[in-house]
Amino acid sequence: MANLGFAGSMISTLVRGTAGINTAPAELKPAIMLQLYDIENCPYCRLVRETLTELNLDVEILPCPKNGTRYRQDLIGRAGKAQFPYLVDPNTDVEMYESLDIVAYLYETYGQKPLPLKWRAGGLQVFGSMLASAPRAARSMQAKTGRMPESSLELYSFESSPYARPVRELLCRMEIPYIVRNCGRSELTDWLLPPIREALNISPDSSIDNRQYLLETFGKVSIPFLYDPNSDSGLFESEDIQQYLLQEYG
């Protein structure tokens, strides 16, 4: 079943091409971290998360699965309705619904460059994201609430990683907030899988700060990586991370 689950995740990645993988860091970085009320397999939320990867912006994810009791109710009290995604930017006091509006806001405010052509064809991006959601439709986004960590977990990830996606799905179902440390690919060597880099004795040479942190701290860049400040522990490997989350917070 795990292999079948990964196959569906890989299909979702292939449907979106390079979206949510490549990154060109934003000119500005928020002084205070952005927050996103989010459902992992929501096609509209995916568009915003892809943009965050493209701009190399970290974000705190507030998961809102169906029948969730933590952040869904919080959003209704805050903005009046349970509609996703919803961005909160404490740096500008801007809060907003609508995925394509959020994409445009992020490029204007932090990218400080014209909206890329692909995002101007917003309808096509929505359709493509809907297709990418289809292979994960059986992965229920119904809440199975876990124990709330005292401090937010940190997930080193990029949006279209087929290995990171199952971890994010589990965090969503468990309603566990977490910080995405975006690790998009900016260099040719970033596209080589870790075993291939090791076999060829190629050292990653990424300009992305979160990738540099993994390399300097652990000697390798492999996605996903979960850091839990509550236990001061870190884990690579998607299945190991999922098992840890269920044991610690299930």
Give the three-state DSSP class for 186: coil
Output the furthest CA–CA distance in the chain (Å, rounded).
54
Strands (DSSP E) found in 33-109: 34-38, 59-63, 86-89, 94-96
| pLDDT at res. 188 | 64
Q: How many C-beta atoms lie closer than 10 Å to residue 191's C-beta?
A: 12
Q: What pLDDT digit, counting tens, does each position of 49-64 carry?
A: 999 999 999 999 999 9
pLDDT at 17: 84
Query: Distance from first CA to last CA of the chain, Å, rounded?
Result: 20
| Residue 73 structure tokens | 């109710």
pLDDT per residue over 168-180, tens digit each?
999 999 999 999 9
* pTM beyond 0.85: yes
Residue 5 is predicted with a pLDDT of 64
CA 219/CA 104 separation, integer angstroms:
36
CATH homologous superfamily of 2-183+223-249: Glutaredoxin (3.40.30.10)
Which residues of the chain, if any, have pLDDT below 70?
1-5, 138, 140, 188-195, 197-198, 200-204
At 234 the three-state DSSP class reads strand
